[in-house]
Amino acid sequence: MAEAKENTAQKETISQEEFLQNFNWHNYQEGIDQVEDAKLKEFENLVEENFVDTADEEVVEGTVVHLTDREAIIDINAKSEGVISLNEFRYNPNLKVGDKVEVLIDVREDKTGQLVLSHRKARTIKAWDRVNAAHDKAEIVNGFVKCRTKGGMIVDVFGIEAFLPGSQIDVKPIRDYDAYVGKTMEFKVVKINHEFKNVVVSHKALIEADIEEQKKEIIGQLEKGQVLEGTVKNITSYGVFIDLGGVDGLIHITDLSWSRINHPNEVVELDQKLNVVILDFDDNKSRIQLGLKQLQKHPWEALGDEVKVGDKVKGKVVVIADYGAFIEVADGVEGLIHVSEMSWSTHLRSAQDFVNVGDEVEAVVLTLDREDRKMSLGIKQLTPDPWTDITTKYPVGSKHTGIVRNFTNFGVFVELEEGIDGLIYISDLSWTKKIKHPSEFVNVGDKLEVEVLELDVEGRKLSLGHKQTTDNPWDKYEAEFAEGTIHNAEISEIVDKGATIEFNEDIVAFVPSRHLEKEDGKKLKKGDTADFKIIEFNKEFKRVVASHTAIFKAEEEKNVKAAAKRSNQAEKTTLGDANAELQALKDKMEGK
């Protein structure tokens, strides 16, 4: 018993000595509890195996352990869990607990001791490697459409801002770019510029391959007359492009409706689904002509048999041309009113003078061809032909007032009433004025007094005169300015080969150069006033010729004749006296 106690005391003494020798005074001073070496070693091994070394710029993989409305809690096997804003996961809206994500230590400990991680920075570090790999392997990548820019969109791909051209968004034309902002879509990397760090992506490229297969299948089955369902893809002024499921076809504006339309949007609208019929296509079927109206019965087939030549119909003016107007008398059924059938008038006029687009008019059916689907109409037939009693209303010699409607180089057309036009030749406008063009004498729209000169009922021609409504002043001038009469006037102008003088507002006489010579041998000049003798008067051609020289020449001639007469008388007297003397001498000699 005593021996046992002695052994126990000895062991305690040894243990105390060993304890003091091996006691870790540093841990004691730092306040660290004593832990067995085996447990410490075990803990160090666990830390070495599981704890992540958070070196700068090192990307590590973490696990999403919790999601809030704004943040994702990520476990990276650090002493605490990290926090990442959900904004960094906009490209991946399907993020869920348990997903593995790449992160970078952004802040080891914030002011609250929280570990702050960055997924965006981690993606950026790996982005170029991934983008290049996706481009080389033609892989499909997810991207988040951040915003719209000039010519396209900005897409976040692996943390890199890539450019998505507008033409690469879809195979269809995009009308609302903003509808894609904030969406996550699949893309294909189509171009990388390493020098400028530019990346171009395409969503269109992903669906083109599928569409190409569909297109080949559809084209292989195309037949004329086949009816297909399509979607309005684009509307132009000349027609509508229809998407037949990867294959585009065109409905020309004339094949949209049996009725006449001004623009295709009157019939269809964008994205509208409708049935169309294949009318034609080229050899490789790359150009497909479609029709919409062909699916409906032609309106001419529905036109009632009761419509016949001579009937009156009502319709709306749909198109106006210079030669006439097209009237829609029923849906898809049109008739032409030629401009010559709009008025009884024979002078040229345009259809716009009678009707306007949209007018409701009444007309008479002149011709009707159901086989060729043509109809001609007339408006003037609704009123009596004014030429029916033309001889009673406008006999030759009657005087009337008309309106000047048109000019020609040779005369003026005057309208006496609607449908009754007459022509005044330029020579019948004035008795005295020399008119080169009718516009010198009258204006379009002026009222003009006329007299009917000739009437051709069969040819529907009326010849008029204006000067005939007044007396011809040349009848009076014929006596006043008869040949031999003398008038005093002033030289108005010196012209080629002579001069002109104005006796009044109507008569301008011509004086030849040799008839300008005065008695002293000099010639009259412009502005000189002198007496002139009329040496020619022609009423028909309105020609008057005068002479100043003839006045004194005539006087000289008169004096010469008088002197000659006196000389003759003197000669007769002298001869008589001689004869008398000779007779007296003879008588004397004979003793008488």
pLDDT in tens, 39-83: 556 655 654 554 455 555 577 888 888 888 888 888 887 777 888
The residue with tokens 């087939």 is 301
Q: Catalogue the E-assigned strands of 20-111.
A: 59-67, 71-75, 82-85, 100-107
pLDDT at residue 566 above 80? no
Closest C-alpha to 156, from 192, 182, 137:
182
Q: What tokens does 520 get? A: 């002293």
What does each C-alpha distance from 539 to 428, 507, 573 come to in angstroms?
15, 11, 51
| Assigned fold of 138-208 | OB fold (Dihydrolipoamide Acetyltransferase, E2P) (2.40.50)
Question: Which residue has better confidence, 46 or 190?
Answer: 190
Question: Which residue has better confidence, 321 or 348?
Answer: 321
Q: Taking the CA atoms of 417, 420, 426 and 431 in sequence, report the sign of the dihedral they define.
A: negative
| % of the chain with per-residue pLDDT over 90 | 6
| % of the chain with per-residue pLDDT over 70 | 81
Question: Which residue has better confidence, 574 or 547?
Answer: 547
The CATH class of the 473-554 domain is mainly beta
CA gap 399, 451 in Å, rounded: 4
What does each C-alpha distance from 469 to 398, 429, 453, 466 come to in angstroms?
10, 10, 11, 6
Average of per-residue pLDDT across 536-543: 83
CA gap 289, 79 in Å, rounded: 71
- Indicate the pLDDT class of residue 29, thresholds 50, 70 and 90: low
What is the pLDDT, as a whole number, of residue 137? Answer: 83
The DSSP bridge partners found for residue 152 are: 149, 165
- The stretches of 175-316 forming alpha helices (DSSP H) are 204-221, 299-302
Instruction: Quick: pLDDT tens for 108-143.
Output: 666 666 777 877 777 777 778 788 888 888 888 888
**Topology agreement, domain 138-208 and domain 473-554:** yes
Cβ contacts of 36 within 8 Å, gap of 6 or more: none
CA gap 202, 187 in Å, rounded: 5
Q: What tokens does 15 get? A: 């243990």
Architecture field, domain 59-124:
Beta Barrel (2.40)
What is the Cα 199 distance to its own chain's centre?
Answer: 40
Among the ranges given (35-39, 90-94, 108-112, 292-296), the one the predictor scored with the smallest mean pLDDT = 35-39
What is the pLDDT, as a whole number, of residue 537? Answer: 87
Among the ranges given (204-218, 297-311, 444-458, 492-506), the one the predictor scored with the smallest mean pLDDT = 204-218
CA gap 49, 60 in Å, rounded: 15
Per the CATH hierarchy, to which homologous superfamily does domain 222-291 belong?
Nucleic acid-binding proteins (2.40.50.140)
pLDDT at residue 6 above 70? no
The domains of the chain are located at 59-124, 138-208, 222-291, 299-376, 389-465, 473-554
What is the pLDDT, as a whole number, of residue 461? Answer: 86
- The stretches of 165-241 forming alpha helices (DSSP H) are 204-221
- Indicate the pLDDT class of residue 545, thresholds 50, 70 and 90: very high
CA gap 370, 354 in Å, rounded: 27
The β-bridge relationship of strands 82-85 and 140-149 is: unpaired
CA gap 312, 309 in Å, rounded: 9
pLDDT at residue 28 above 70? no
CA gap 509, 492 in Å, rounded: 10
Instruction: Quick: pLDDT tens for 323-371.
Output: 899 988 887 888 899 988 888 776 667 888 888 888 899 999 999 888 7
Do residues 83 and 116 lie in contact, with contact meaning Cβ atoms separated by under 8 Å?
Answer: yes
Among the ranges given (21-35, 279-293, 324-338, 462-476), the one the predictor scored with the smallest mean pLDDT = 21-35
Options 3.20.20.70, 3.40.640.10, 3.60.21.10, 2.40.50.140; CATH for 299-376 is: 2.40.50.140
What is the pLDDT, as a whole number, of residue 132? Answer: 85
Average of per-residue pLDDT across 424-439: 85
- Indicate the pLDDT class of residue 580, thresholds 50, 70 and 90: low
CA gap 205, 187 in Å, rounded: 8
CA gap 336, 169 in Å, rounded: 49
Architecture field, domain 389-465:
Beta Barrel (2.40)
Total residue length of the chain = 592
- Indicate the pLDDT class of residue 553, thresholds 50, 70 and 90: confident
Query: Is 90 in a helix, a strand, or coil?
Result: coil
CA gap 209, 188 in Å, rounded: 12
- Indicate the pLDDT class of residue 377, thresholds 50, 70 and 90: very high
What is the pLDDT, as a whole number, of residue 425? Answer: 92
Instruction: Quick: pLDDT tens for 467-516.
Output: 888 877 777 777 788 888 888 888 888 888 899 998 887 788 899 988 88
What is the pLDDT, as a whole number, of residue 47? Answer: 46
Q: What tokens does 414 get? A: 């005057």
Q: What is the mean pLDDT of the chain?
A: 80
Question: Which residue has better confidence, 236 or 244?
Answer: 236
The residue with tokens 């401009």 is 339
